[in-house]
Structure 1
Amino acid sequence: MASLNVYSVLVVLFLTCGATMATKENDQIIKENNCETKMGMPCVLEAFKSIFETGSISNKCCCELVGLGKFCHSALVKRTLENPLFKHLSPAKIIAKSIQTWNNCLALIDSPSLSA
């Protein structure tokens, strides 16, 4: 139980202390990789809802999300969290949902039933 508390403190410290550096780093990653142009708007909205609200993401949008790439996905989520409109959200919970969405989509894309 104590290790969970230590881990939580480290995550909070990382998120708060590295915010300025993360902003520039995320913007640079997004710009250099053309992240904002790799998904269609309907899939962007689906992915957003599955991470920042409640909702699911379709197979088609999972394909687009995985095609976006892990670096772009992470950078876009982190940049969204930096927006004052989302300051009421828990960064740790959003990042966990982001990872879960990514892993679910990756597993779906790798599934033999989807490629058949």
Structure 2
Amino acid sequence: IRDEIRLMPVLPFHLPEPESEALRHLCQQIRMAPGESWSSAQAAGIVGMSERTLNRHFQQQTGLSYGEWVRRARLLEALVRLAQGQPVLRVALDLGYGSHSAFTAMFRRVM
């Protein structure tokens, strides 16, 4: 994975911030604990809205679905940790992936 990152001329990732205070606070919590499950049901409960409303607001305010936003947040955190030299397996497990291969598969899908 590190070799693939090194070969990329530009990392094409941007993590847009939502406008709403409640969603920004949720995003901050996700970035502080990216390895948690962060299901849409859990997130909706935190911000006090239905899952459907959460997803609609995320799409409107960020251009991403809630699930895609969480995946990108994890991926960006993974890139930082890998660039710091942390072992791939440690990064994978810390970010909630069950194995090195699950993390690598996600990484290749996105890249």
Q: TM-score, normalised by structure 1?
A: 0.38
Q: TM-score, normalised by structure 2?
A: 0.40
